[in-house]
């Protein structure tokens, strides 16, 4: 990713050498796209059940990584020359299918566990990110503008975690029949960073289309896990561009 951004930076430098350094105006971009590079992570929890007796069950789940849909809005106001500052909001959401295994205490024998495995679909992962950025915009001809941007990002993450499983058992209780698993939503916030590039093509003075690539990252504490959940990833999006 760093090598890719370095290449794009050189393109901007070359463009600036061949185009007049005119002051930029206000900029608004509205995009739809995808977020890639979300990392998977494990989650474990102890839980109680009326059929356990004095011991607790142990559940271990694996949340997969992957991508999902993204909506993005950004705006920039000019400061000096080709430099501006602004803010943007990106919203990412995806469903997850979580695989899990559980150790269920035996009601008649201490320290003897029954093992069950399963999956739970429809687990929700949502991220809202507020990006504050500095932006350097360079015209590359009459209709094309290339911009590099970056700065801090405030993340708000909502993640569902498995909290236990239901089951049935019959004497002598050596095996169990797995029922439904249960989930609970947890939320957390963190401050990270982002950097990216935006390329726009204008078919009139004020209106155009364009695309962006952004990388963002932060670690967010959720559900008292001890290990942060990684938020952010690679954004690829395209949409409407307005300048005025």
The model's pLDDT over 131-181, given as tens digits with 9 standing for 90+, comes to: 999 999 988 888 999 999 999 999 999 999 998 999 988 899 998 999 888
**Angstrom distance (rounded) from CA 227 to CA 220:** 9
Angle (CA) 38 42 46, round 5°:
145
Q: Is the pLDDT of residue 226 over 80?
A: no
Q: Which of 27-31, 84-88, 111-115 is least confident?
A: 111-115
Q: Is the pLDDT of residue 3 over 70?
A: no
Contact 7, 206 (CB under 8 A): no
Q: Is 44 exposed, middle or buried (0-12, 13-18, 19+ CB in 10 A)?
A: middle
Phi, psi torsion values for 66, nearest 5 degrees? 145, 180
Cross-strand pairs, 239: 31, 210
Cis peptide before 172 (omega within 30 of 0): yes
What domains appear along the chain, each with residue ranges and CATH number?
2-243 (2.40.160.20)
Q: Which residues of 171-208 are buried (b: 16+ CB within 10 A; e: fewer)?
A: eeeeebeeeebebeebebebebebbbbbbbebeeeeeb
Residue 81: which residues within 8 A CB-CB, separation 6 or more?
Answer: 21, 23, 24
pTM for the model stands at 0.82
Both tokens assigned to 90: 């990106």
**Angstrom distance (rounded) from CA 50 to CA 107:** 10
Confidence of residue 107 (pLDDT cuts 50, 70, 90): confident
Residue 190: which residues within 8 A CB-CB, separation 6 or more?
Answer: 154, 155, 157, 218, 219, 220, 221, 228, 231
């Amino acid at each position: 990713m760093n090598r890719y951004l370095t290449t794009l930076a050189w393109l901007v430098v070359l463009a600036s050498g061949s185009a007049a350094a005119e002051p930029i105006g206000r900029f608004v971009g509205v995009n739809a796209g995808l977020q890639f590079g979300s990392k998977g992570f494990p989650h474990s929890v102890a839980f109680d059940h009326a059929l356990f007796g004095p011991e607790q069950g142990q559940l271990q789940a694996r949340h997969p990584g992957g991508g999902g849909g993204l909506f993005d809005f950004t705006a920039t106001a000019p400061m000096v020359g080709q430099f501006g500052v602004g803010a943007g909001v990106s919203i990412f959401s995806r469903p997850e299918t979580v695989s899990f295994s559980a150790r269920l205490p035996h009601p008649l024998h201490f320290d003897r566990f029954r093992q069950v495995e399963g999956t739970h679909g429809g687990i929700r992962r949502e991220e809202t990110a507020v990006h504050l950025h500095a932006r350097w915009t360079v015209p590359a001809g009459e209709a094309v503008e290339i911009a590099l941007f970056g700065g801090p990002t405030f993340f708000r993450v909502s993640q569902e975690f498995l909290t236990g499983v239901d089951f049935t058992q019959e004497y002598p209780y050596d095996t169990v029949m797995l029922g439904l698993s249960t989930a609970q939503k947890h939320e957390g916030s963190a401050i990270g960073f982002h950097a990216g590039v935006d390329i726009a093509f204008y078919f009139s003075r004020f209106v155009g289309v364009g695309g962006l690539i952004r990388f963002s990252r932060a670690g967010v504490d959720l559900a008292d896990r001890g290990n942060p959940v990684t938020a952010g990833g690679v954004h690829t999006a395209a949409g409407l561009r307005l300048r005025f």
